[in-house]
Amino acid sequence: MADNEHYVRDDVRGFLAMLEQLGGPQMDEIPIDQARAGYVAMKSLAEVDPKPLAVVRDLTCPGPAGDIPLRLYDAQEHRAPGPVVMFYHGGGFTIGDLDTHDAFCTELAAGLNLPVVAVHYRLAPEHPFPAAPEDCEAATRWVAGNPQELGRQATGLITTGDSAGGNLSIVIAQALSDKAAAVPVILQAPIYPIASPVEETTSYKSFAEGFLLTARTMGFFSDSYAADPNDKRNYPILHDNHAASPPTVLITAGLDPLRDSGREYAAHLIQHGVDVIYLEAKGNVHGFITIRKAVPSAQGDVETFIDAVKLMLERHSA
């Protein structure tokens, strides 16, 4: 299907044309450390500068295979007890780190006026499934327990993240629903997540090439992650109690191979009586939260998402 059959924003079209001109090898044609370095380098080309905050501090917590790197963001030096946001970065469970999503985490902390704890979980292919959800669950339970090192007292948790991190935000909310942590997940906010099998969806077939995230790259990520297709920690739509899910804000991108998986999961929650705000960034591509310099209109999508999270928190505040 040609892109002229879909609505594509002008700034998105310009960015995609620039990437096509740059060319370069496919992700599966280069060593994994080069792919990771390329993702970090993309930040200077495509992403806005981080917002200044009172607190940006690296720390670690214990995990199942050693210490897990974390980064705390807060617009306030000191804060009364309240919700804490857990952020899990995207990158197909294979690339991405605390730096690739640094600017977005500052945006989230400033926009929500809440502390944000970003988690850098172990990456595939060195650490395939279920290393990522195990690390993210361990870090989230650690924050829930109000460790002294954090200097923040959580009364509830918000799980969020993009792409692979969107998947993890759902998976961790489900894990803490199945087995309670010291404080509950009060809201989940996945950003263009993968929540169910995508290969047969209309969006996967429509946007397989030419819209930033390609089917070939998705295949590389899936092969690297090597997840069990029958495990709810891979496809959270397989969970057996969706009615227990927290209030949900979910945003997809209109030109994303993963779009229909996000749509399907949001509809699934609504059918189970969960309060859901579903947003779609029409004419935008997968990955838009980290390309806001190259695609300025994506800033509006990010602000709409943050406003929806604030609205949902207000709606469910005791």
Neighbours of 310 (CB within 10 A): 15
Predicted confidence at residue 5, as pLDDT, reads 74
Predicted confidence at residue 2, as pLDDT, reads 45
Distance CA 128, CA 308 (A): 33
Predicted confidence at residue 24, as pLDDT, reads 85
- Give yes or no for a contact between 118 and 70, defined as CB atoms under 8 angstroms apart: yes
Structural domains of the chain, with CATH: 3-315 (3.40.50.1820)
Residue 16 in tokens: 């995609």
- The residue behind tokens 């740059």 is 22
> Among the options 89, 239, 242, 286, which is catalytic?
286
Q: Is 286 noted as a catalytic residue in this protein?
A: yes
> Among the options 102, 127, 163, 169, which is catalytic?
163
- Specify the 3-state DSSP secondary structure of 61: strand
Positive/negative CA dihedral, 238, 97, 102, 198 = negative
Neighbours of 276 (CB within 10 A): 20
Predicted confidence at residue 23, as pLDDT, reads 86
Predicted confidence at residue 159, as pLDDT, reads 99
Predicted confidence at residue 182, as pLDDT, reads 97
Q: Is 256 noted as a catalytic residue in this protein?
A: yes
- Give yes or no for a contact between 160 and 85, defined as CB atoms under 8 angstroms apart: yes
- The residue behind tokens 């460790």 is 147
**Per-residue exposure over 213-226, b if at least 16 CB sit within 10 Å of its own CB, e if not:** bbeebbebbbebbe
Helix-then-strand count for the chain, H and E: 9, 8
Distance CA 253, CA 56 (A): 29
Predicted confidence at residue 318, as pLDDT, reads 58
Residue 219 in tokens: 């295949």
* Residue 131 Cα distances to 11, 123, 125, 137, 226, angstroms: 37, 8, 10, 10, 11
Ramachandran region, residue 91 (left: φ > 0; alpha: ψ -120 to 50; beta: rest): left
Low-confidence ranges of the chain (pLDDT < 50): 1-4
Positive/negative CA dihedral, 307, 275, 103, 40 = negative
* Residue 28 Cα distances to 43, 90, 207, angstroms: 20, 17, 19
pTM: 0.97
Distance CA 249, CA 190 (A): 7
- Specify the 3-state DSSP secondary structure of 62: strand
Run of H or E including 121: none
Predicted confidence at residue 1, as pLDDT, reads 42
Q: Is 163 noted as a catalytic residue in this protein?
A: yes
- Give yes or no for a contact between 177 and 252, defined as CB atoms under 8 angstroms apart: no
Nearest by Cα to 288 from 47, 108, 112, 99: 47
Residue 43 in tokens: 């930040």
> Among the options 135, 256, 260, 301, which is catalytic?
256
Q: In what order do the strands lie in the sheet with 276-281?
A: 55-63, 66-74, 116-119, 82-88, 154-162, 185-191, 248-253, 276-281
